[in-house]
Amino acid sequence: MSYFQNNSNLFSIQSVVDSFTQVITQQNTAILSLQTTMASIVSSGGTGGASIADLTALQTTVSDLEAVVGTNTTAIVATNTIVSDHTTAIAALEVPGFVATPQTLSWDFRDFFDTKQGIEFVPIPSDGVEIIDQKAVVDLPGPLHYLRGFVPVAFVSKFSKTLMFRFKSIAGMDPNVDFVFSTFSGDDRFALGFAIRVFNGAIETKVYGAYNPSGTKQIYSALHPIPGYPSVIFNQYVHMCVVINTATGFITTYINGVQNGSTNAITSGTTQAELDAGEYHAGVSFLPFFVNKAGDYGDGNALYDKIDYFDNVALSQQEITYYYNESI
């Protein structure tokens, strides 16, 4: 049952109780008035015109009404006690539950289209990457076996962002690289945006900015070893999250909902002006998102089950735990 339905029901119950109480109060007032009238008639010896039989019948009616009121009053007291006993639970229901930040982009690989904006990942070459059992299967060696999607820059902030991946790496490919996701190809000296790899058993994250004629440079960089590597990413599907928080300068990574590493990632020599400018996007209208490609390199062979991108936000531990639990 939804939060609003719960609230509606609680409000209705309280309204019924309040209305019931009001009716009983009115009945009690009426009974008191009847009793006063009866006493007056009896004391006057019946001069009001009513017979003793009428008065007796009236007395019986009043007694019956009193019995009903007594029963209803008991029920109201019991209901009020229940409501009072559950005040804490009612208060909890009246406060909206936890709501996680929604994804900006999300690929679940039922097909190659993201479920939020309809952005398509195109296999390069066209027959290179297949979807099998709702997984993007990246299982060939070399840098030409990847997915590419063109994302409007309106969806890609130059600042904070959070990325989540559910994948299982494929053994027997590159001995050093087990996962690759980035926003650029070609010469690393002119890299755009960011790159994330699992490299030599660690989550490697780089953010590029500070453009000059000789190229860009890393303005944020982090390398966080993965506990339980290699089995944690080869023997099972793993939920990996990377949070780039430009407000604090920290990059934080998570494995299966648990914090894996958190470091001040601002690179040596980076100026405040370069941080204020953020990622370098080269003035393009669309930024490419690559699966299994960063620069001229690939070999991040894996079964990619889900990719979520959250723009311009550094997700909290609570939100990451929420999405991890959603994935299992």
For residues 117 and 265, membership in a common domain is answered with yes
Q: Is residue 239 part of a domain?
A: yes
Q: How far apart are CA 180 and CA 70, in angstroms?
A: 75
Residue-level pLDDT at 97: 76
pLDDT confidence of residue 4: 40
Which pLDDT score is estimated for 268?
97
Write the CATH number for 140: 2.60.120.200
| Assessment of whether the complete model's pTM goes beyond 0.85 | no
Among the candidates 63, 94, 125, a domain finishes at 94
State the CB neighbour count (10 A cutoff) for residue 265.
24
Q: Are 317 and 259 in contact (CB under 8 A)?
A: yes
Q: Which pLDDT does position 145 carry in this prediction?
A: 86
pLDDT number for residue 175: 86
Can you give the pLDDT at residue 2? 38
Regarding whether 174 and 90 lie in a shared domain, the answer is no
Domain boundary residue among 62, 94, 126? 94
Give the pLDDT confidence score for residue 306 in this predicted structure. Answer: 98
User: What is the domain count for the chain?
Assistant: 2
Whether residue 100 lies inside any domain: the answer is no
Mean pLDDT of successive 10-residue stretches along the chain, which has 328 residues:
44 58 65 66 58 65 65 67 67 70 97 97 79 92 86 98 97 88 92 96 97 93 97 96 98 98 98 97 96 84 96 98 96
Q: Which domain holds residue 41?
A: 3-94
Distances (CA, A) of 57 to 29, 60, 215: 20, 5, 104
Instruction: Compute the distance between CA of residue 261 and CA of residue 47 in angstroms, rounded to an integer.
Output: 96
Q: Are residues 114 and 85 in the same domain?
A: no
Residue 3: the pLDDT is 40
Distance CA 225, CA 20 (A): 65
Alpha-carbon distance values, 189 to 146, 268, 285 (Å): 21, 17, 21
